[in-house]
Chains A and B, each alone.
Chain A
């Protein structure tokens, strides 16, 4: 009993320390430039939290979060552009054409913009998810479809030169809901908003994981058919997690825009969409905080290395994918256990991999769950 209490106190203490670092130490100690970078990483970590829920807890490998990240980001960028232009004005980059496209006008009001950031990606994910999961399309098929959706979205953005800036994207925003972005105080405020939103998302996922829904989601990941036989509809369970992950990604994208100051198709295509996953894999996909910490660590490493050694970073990224996913599927945190297992390999009975990480074989049902013979 006492040991349990001590453990609880330790966990609570760790959370308190993390919050103190996030809200106290970081804004006090970091320069404006570094704080802005951290705020940018926090936005990417929001996407990771959603992926942790959909992929880690729900087993849905979403390779297309760039689609939702981009939707949130572009809606925010459109709103900021219109707000900068003033009532009835139009953004400077639209040189030709008679007026602002009608769908821009939808996001002129701050209220509809914020609603749109949540509702548009959420509804799209709902529709896509229902279309895919209700027909029991899953596993690799779902992954490929989600990746194709990100690819198509990026291409669509690039082709719309006149209405959303094409491959240049949208940039140079002056204010954020009435606050001048040039003012360092307002930039700090943005950091606090991002940190607060991220903490809120982690708390939401924490509650979900403890709830009955969270158990069902994990049950669907580990044995979809069994959940179906118990009378639940796995499609609805999966769609809910997928849509929530989409909303998280969209909010991350929306905050990314005023913090970084630019959004372009480069941040939403196939490559960045898969890039979101690496932090989640490194941190431990099925844990609560792993996706956040992993994503922050990978973002930091990426920005530090790619400033000076771009090719080194790409090699490292590739190696991280290979080594972590192949050998540490539960994340870097599982390294001690895995090393111990390797050390004790001479034992006649090898430790079986937990059921948690055995993915659904998917439609290619000819593949047995455990590959026998050889090696």
Chain B
């Protein structure tokens, strides 16, 4: 029983990490059809923000609380910068954005390497996030619990914004039908930019959370980006609930596979599961219904 619960917890915490990263992608991919490969580097930028903040403020707890909003800002501004300079020129060629942003991510990784060095830097976790808590008699690290809480909060806030605010209404309108939204007076370019800010900001915040469980190094974004995109593909674009289900589903599946097989076999099995799943639902778990052909 302990082993089952342990794997379940591992799956949930992996799912939360994937969810935090995929949330931003759901926004940018769902709304604009843009595949931002540099999303992982916004995550890395967020993690290094936590590192820099910690050089200024000695207290680990205080610096974490400062780093969370600050990294949101850093990630968001990087995202808007990318959107304005490059991606906005490429909306008619969504596949090409993938390669362009890959180029950006190469540059950002090397930049981080030159600024902070190739080895991982140390970001201390505050004392209240070290150690374990017992959940149903099985230990769960506090750092991971924090990530789960952050993921749940982010989903709740994002869903509420999308559902209840005027901004959310505009975003949903653009996702469903850009042309109709524009004819109704919505500035879709502005909406795109705001979505990009929120999506990239979420990545930055995820980076701070990741410092609690993973090492902070220039290539940390790359580790998660492929899996995060798999979550988006399996979950369906433009839908938060699809991403939530897919992230936890894939996270738990990987933990289960990794328990019975090895971690690498788990990755291969996971990919096969996603491909098999797309046979049943080519559009992912949930998709925005339109009447268009393609």
Contact = CB atoms under 8 A, between A and B. Distances in A.
Contacts of B255: none
A18 interface: no
B151 interface: no
A35 interface: no
Contacts of A137: 278, 282
B35 interface: yes
Interface stretch (B88-96, B138-146, B160-168, B200-208): B88-96
B264 A156 contact: yes
Contacts of B102: 274, 321
Interface in B244-294: 262-265, 267-268, 270-271, 274-276, 278-279, 282-283, 287-288, 290, 292-294
Contact of A317 (B92, B103, B226, B279): B103
B105 to A, nearest CB: 8
Given A318-B104, A361-B294, A362-B33, A370 B263 contact: no
Contacts of A144: 35, 226, 229-230, 232-233
Nearest to A371: B91
Contacts of A141: 233, 278
Given A326-B86, A362-B294, A367 B32 contact: yes
A227 interface: no
Interface string A44-61: 000000000000000101
Interface in B76-119: 86, 88-96, 98-100, 102-107, 109-110, 113-114
A147 interface: yes
A349 interface: no
B94 A159 contact: no
B240 to A, nearest CB: 16
Name the residue in B88, B102, B227 with the highest tally of chain A Cβ atoms < 10 Å from its Cβ: B102
Interface in B35-80: 35
Contact of A132 (B99, B232, B263, B278): B278
Given A159-B265, A366-B176, A325 B103 contact: yes
A144 to B, nearest CB: 4
Contacts of B267: 151-152, 155-156
Contacts of B29: 140, 364
A348 interface: no
Contacts of B107: 314-315, 318-319, 322
Nearest to B181: A366
Contact of A373 (B99, B109, B188): B188
Nearest to A127: B275
Contact of A311 (B113, B178, B262, B283): B113
B292 A139 contact: no
B189 interface: yes
Contacts of A140: 29, 33, 35, 94-95, 98
B209 interface: no
Interface residues of B, number: 69
A364 B237 contact: yes
Contact of B290 (A132, A329, A366, A371): A366
A260 interface: no
B30 interface: yes
B103 A322 contact: yes
B178 A131 contact: no
Interface in B169-199: 174-179, 182, 187-189
Interface of A is mostly: helix
Interface residues of A, number: 64
B33 A319 contact: no
Given A148-B271, A366-B288, A321 B103 contact: yes
Contacts of A156: 264-265, 267-268
Given A148-B230, A373-B189, A136 B282 contact: yes
B215 interface: no
B92 A319 contact: no
B103 A363 contact: no
B243 to A, nearest CB: 14
A143 interface: yes
Interface in A115-157: 128, 131-132, 135-137, 139-141, 143-145, 147-149, 151-153, 155-156
10 contacts: A140-B98, A145-B275, A158-B264, A159-B264, A225-B293, A274-B99, A325-B96, A365-B294, A366-B176, A367-B94
Given A156-B265, A281-B99, 20 more contacts: A61-B95, A136-B282, A140-B33, A140-B35, A143-B98, A144-B232, A145-B275, A147-B229, A148-B274, A151-B226, A151-B267, A158-B264, A159-B263, A314-B110, A315-B106, A320-B103, A321-B106, A361-B33, A363-B287, A372-B182
Query: 8 nearest interchain CB pairs?
Result: A321-B103, A374-B189, A318-B106, A364-B33, A371-B91, A159-B264, A318-B107, A367-B33
